[in-house]
Amino acid sequence: MASLPLWGRVNGFNNQEGECVYGSKNLARKLLLHPPNFRSSSTHDNLLQGENLDHQNHTNSETDNVKEQSMIVNGTSHAFRGWYADGPWQGEAHLYKMEKVIFEGKSEFQELLVFESAGHGKVAILNGYLQLTEKDEFAYQEMLTHLALCSIPNPKKVLLVGGGDGGILREISRHSSVEHIDICEMDTMIIDVYKQFFPDIAVGYKDPRVHVHIAEGIGFIKSVPEGTYDVIILDAFNSMGPSAKVLSKKSFLETVAKGLRAGGVMSAPADSLWRKGFVVADTIALCKKIFKGSVNYAWTTIPAYPSGAIGFMLCSTEGPEVNFKIPVNPLNPKKNGVAKGPTKFYNNEIHAAAFCLPSFAIKATDDDPNMF
C-alpha cells in the first residue's frame, strides 16, 4: 500500500468527495509541498517537519491549509494545489484533497504524516505508505480481527503484532471471552499520535485486558513460549516487508505457528486479488504444510487501498478443526467492549461472503476449486 508522489502526464477526474484517480505510464517519486513555515523532510519530500509535539522528535502543525503542492510532468513543473498523491499501483495513483496538515514527525524508526482530507476525514501516511483513512479504516480492522476471532469458540489469549493505531485492539475488545491481549508495537510515536488525533480508533488502548510491549515484532514472536495464544493477528508489514515476502518465509511462519495452541488461528493481510499476476497458491501450500490445519484466502473492499480491495490469509494449527467460512463465535451487538457502538462493516453474512472468490481468483489460489 505504497504512498508515493506522482510524475507523468495525467488524465483524471474530481468527484464530490475530493478525490482524483489518475492513470499514468510515468510515475516517479517527487511531490513538492510548500505550506508556510515548514521544511522539507530529508527522507520524503512529501513529508514535512514542524514544531515539536513531545520529546521523541514528534512534530505538529497548526497550519490551516496547504498552500501549494506541485507535480512534475515529464520534467515540467505543473501546479496542482492541495492534493496528496498515493501511488503508484500498476500505473495508477489516488489523490486526496488536503484541507489541513495535522501532524508530521519522525521517530527513531519511521516517519508519519497525518492530514485532514476533503472526503476521507483524517488520513495517516506511514513511511510513505497509506496506513488508514477515517472513512473506511473500520472495514480493514473489523475483517482482519473478526474473521479469526469469530471462527473459533471462546478465544482467551490474543497477540497483535503491529496495529499501533489501536483499531484492532478496539475490535478485539468486542469479544468478552478474551481474557488477555498482548500488543507488540515497536514505535511509541505511532501510539502517541493515534491517541491524540484518532481517539475513536485508539480507544482500544482503554481496554484493561491490553498489555503493551514496545519491541520489534519478529523478535517478540520468537520469544513467545509454545502454544501461548489462541489467535495471533499480524498487522506489521510496513516494518516486516511486503506481505507476500513475509508470508513466504518458512522460518517466520513456523515461529508464528509455534506460538499458537492446537487449533489456534493466525490472521494476516495478503495481496489484493486485483494485483497484476495475483497468485497465492504457493503461499497457501506453504501455510498448509506449516500450520497443518485449515488455510483460507479471504478478501474485502476498502476504497482507500490500491485496487479498492485487500486480501487476508487465515491459518489454523493442527488440532480442533476450524472452518473459517462459518462464524461459530458470532459477535454480540450489545457487547462492544470499549468500541463506541456495534461494528460498521463486519457481520455474519459478510464473514461468509469474504471467502467467495471470483473464478479467476479461485484459479490463482489453488487448482482445486473445492478448497474454498
Domain with 343 in it = 137-371
Residues 6+ apart with CB under 8 A from 242: none
Check 54, 235, 271, 368 and give the catalytic one.
Answer: 235
Q: Residues 92, 230: one domain?
A: no
- 165 part of the active site: no
Domain ends where: 113, 132, 151?
132
Q: Would you say 35 and 18 are in contact if contact means Cβ atoms under 8 Å apart?
A: no
Q: How many domains does the chain have?
A: 2
Q: Residues 239, 330: one domain?
A: yes
Task: Note the helical H segments in the chain.
Answer: 137-149, 167-172, 188-197, 199-202, 217-223, 237-240, 243-246, 250-259, 281-291, 348-353, 359-365
How many CB atoms within 10 Å of residue 63?
17
Residue type, 14: N
pLDDT digits (tens, 9 = 90+) for 158-203: 999 999 999 999 999 999 999 999 999 999 999 999 999 999 999 9
Flag whether 354 is in a domain: yes
Q: Residues 77, 141: one domain?
A: no
Q: Residues 236, 276: one domain?
A: yes
Q: What is the CATH number of the domain that holds 190?
A: 3.40.50.150
DSSP 8-state assignment for residue 225? P
pLDDT digits (tens, 9 = 90+) for 45-73: 333 233 333 434 444 444 444 433 333 22
How many CB atoms within 10 Å of residue 215?
14
Q: What is the pTM of this model?
A: 0.79
